[in-house]
Structure 1
Amino acid sequence: MRKSFKLDEIDCANCALKLEDAIKKVDGVDDAKVNFMTQKLTLAAADDRFPAVLDDVCALIAKMEPDCEVLR
């Protein structure tokens, strides 16, 4: 499954790249793209694990960028 989510408060392109690299390392993530210009996260993971993977990704984002929020 591949879904896109709006991100709130990504500060810079470098932050977006750091998030993207870290998200790609989360167990269960098949692919991830963080677009600074559109403030969007596109996440790909197995259908049966997607909700759990998304929770892990949201927790990672909150840890790395406390001001950033994934709008579900």
Structure 2
Amino acid sequence: MKKIIKLEGLCCANCAAKIEEEVKKLAGVESAALSFMTQRMTMEIEESKSDEIIEAARKISNKIEPEAEFKVIR
């Protein structure tokens, strides 16, 4: 299942890279890519774990970049 997350307000590419790296480690995440330029993260995840993966990704994002707004687009 493909999910797209908008992270408005990322301050730097380094923070984006850290978020992407941590999200990739989550169980059920097949792939994740976060673009600092577009401030969008695209994830391929297991459908059965989508809610818990999205919540875990939100927590990672808030820990690394608390000012960024986390919105699920699709």
Question: Are 1:32 and 2:29 matched, yes or no?
Answer: no
TM-score, normalised via structure 1 length: 0.90
Instruction: State the secondary structure of the residue aligned to 1:43.
Output: strand
Identity %: 35
TM-score, normalised via structure 2 length: 0.87
Tell me the C-alpha RMSD between the 2 structures. 1.1
Q: Which runs of 5+ in 1 are unaligned?
A: none
Instruction: State the secondary structure of the residue aligned to 1:23.
Output: helix
- 1:16-70 C-alpha deviation (Å, 9 max, x unpaired): 1111111111222111110000010111111111111111111111111111121
- Poorly superposed stretches of 4+, deviation over 3 Å: none
Count of residues in Structure 1 that have an aligned counterpart in Structure 2: 72
Amino acid at match of 1:33: A
